[in-house]
Amino acid sequence: MPSSPIRKLVPFADIARSKGVHIYHLNIGQPDIPTPETMLNTIRNINLKVIEYSHSAGIESYRKKLVGYYAKFNINLNWEEIMITTGGSEAIEIGMMSCLNPGDEIIVPEPYYANYNGFSTQANVNIKAIPSSIKTGFALPPISEFENAITPKTKAILICNPSNPTGYLYTREELETLRKIVLKHDLYLFSDEVYREFCYDGREYISSMHLEGLDQHVVMMDSVSKRYSACGVRVGALISKNKEVLKAALRFAQARLSPPTLGQIAAEAAIDTPDSYFEEVHKEYVARRDFVVDSLNKIEGVFCPKPRGAFYCMAELPIDDADYFCQWLLESFSFNNQTVMLAPASGFYSEPSLGKKEVRIAYVLNLESLKNAMECLEEALKVYPGRTL
């Protein structure tokens, strides 16, 4: 089992903190955006005598209400096609275990969400990464790369759209390309779409569930964590129109009894969150993204493609090794008694050397904090012993 590349720097952060250094946490997707009042109020008014198990597939009224939520995105489901999970994490894990046998392979464009490694290890399946590049802003790798990676053991392609860690938003053309590969080789298309609310610049969100003729192929993994800034409720969903997949998934769900009841009650209430909440959040993230990406590209030797989705960007820095650099930022650097915590990109690649000069930045703090954080980063790059400029 690999250790989490994002969380492995935590001991160094503890040391920095103990020295009184303030750390700007841009290393993890924990937004500072308030959780909608609708959710919090429902929890405060909870009227239960016993906090019982829910159905293993989730509270029925919640599953039914989610049908309306997805319909707004032109995803047409019946409630039995939605199985509630303990966070998006469990949706991915159960999805892999339900669709693949030990030893089977999943193709994933890299860089990819580091915990996919953990889930695939648990499921005893192998990830075959195919490279996308910061040079092209992490566009979908060419079809030939997929064709080259497919073996008789390949059972699925996994994408994250909009993407963590790259912020990349797939175009209709790219998704149509995936559709063809999936049909041609009879694969599952695992689609992690937990950032669907975060698409910018008027760009359309296109779900894998919009693709024609893939009802038996698509397994969508979802979570309420990001859209309602409620990561701690641990409520996600596994969604599919393939009845065999749902049946297998339910067996795994039954073994762990049920997803969290309190979180589900909060998540059901969250569906009534007014549009104005998302408009505010959207505006805020666009401002943050624009500020961060502009600031990064103004620093000598830094390159950061502008992402169209999620709340992450990837930057190439003029340094020898992002793992050393991120540790050094915590261990040996401070500016005005402040420093910044970033996620080295090596953990998002199957071959750590590929992301050696790259970091992932989560723009989950307010503009004032981001300004200070970018200033720290700029100063750090001037004095870091391993700088390459």
Residues at the interface with a second copy (CB under 8 A): 1-4, 7, 28, 30-35, 39-40, 43-46, 48-54, 56, 86-87, 89-90, 93, 97, 102, 115, 118-119, 122, 124, 229-234, 248, 250-252, 254-263, 266
Min dist CB 186 to a second copy, Å, is 22
- CB of 219 or CB of 296, closer to a second copy: 219
* Three-state SS letters, the chain: CCCCCCCCCHHHHHHHHHCCCEEEECCCCCCCCCCCHHHHHHHHCCCCCCCCCCCCCCCHHHHHHHHHHHHCCCCCCCHHHEEEECHHHHHHHHHHHHHCCCCCEEEEEECCCCHHHHHHHHHCCEEEEEECCHHHCCCCCCHHHHHHHCCCCEEEEEEECCCCCCCCCCCHHHHHHHHHHHHHHCCEEEEECCCCCCECCCCCCCCHHHCCCCCCCEEEEEECCCCCCCHHHCCEEEEECCHHHHHHHHHHHHHCCCCCHHHHHHHHHHCCCCHHHHHHHHHHHHHHHHHHHHHHHHCCCCECCCCCECCEEEEECCECCHHHHHHHHHHCCCECCEEEECEEHHHHCCCHHHHCCEEEEECCCCHHHHHHHHHHHHHHHHHCCCECC
- What gap in Å lies between CA 33 and CA 227, rounded to an integer? 10
- Cβ-based nearer residue to a second copy, 116 or 205: 116
* Distance of closest approach, residue 91 Cβ to a second copy, in angstroms: 11
Task: Name the residue nearer to a second copy (CB basis): 36 or 141.
Answer: 36
| Residue 195 Cβ vs a second copy, minimum distance, rounded to whole Å | 15
Decide whether 29 or 111 has the Cβ nearer to a second copy. 29
CB of 74 to a second copy, least distance (A): 29
Q: How far is the CB of 223 from a second copy (least distance, A)?
A: 10
| CB of 165 or CB of 305, closer to a second copy | 165
> What is the rounded CA–CA span in Å between residue 239 and residue 63?
11
- Identify which of residues 62 and 138 has a Cβ nearer to a second copy in the complex: 62
Query: What is the smallest separation between the CB atom of 181 and a second copy, expressed in angstroms?
Result: 28
Q: Are 167 and 312 in contact (CB under 8 A)?
A: yes
Cβ at position 6, least distance to a second copy in Å: 8
Whether the CB-CB separation of 301 and 317 falls below 8 Å is answered with yes
Query: Quick one: three-class SS letters along 17-51?
Result: HHCCCEEEECCCCCCCCCCCHHHHHHHHCCCCCCC
The total of other beta-carbon atoms located within 10 Å of residue 28's CB is 16
Least distance to a second copy, CB of residue 45, Å: 7
Closest approach of a second copy to the CB of residue 332, in Å: 25
Considering beta carbons, is residue 134 or 266 the nearer one to a second copy?
A: 266
The least distance separating a second copy from the CB of residue 18, rounded to whole angstroms, comes to 15
Q: Which is nearer to a second copy, 35 or 161 (CB)?
A: 35
Query: In the complex with a second copy, which residue's Cβ is closer, 60 or 186?
Result: 60
User: Which C-beta is closer to a second copy: that of 119 or that of 325?
Assistant: 119
Name the maximum alpha-carbon separation found in the chain: 64
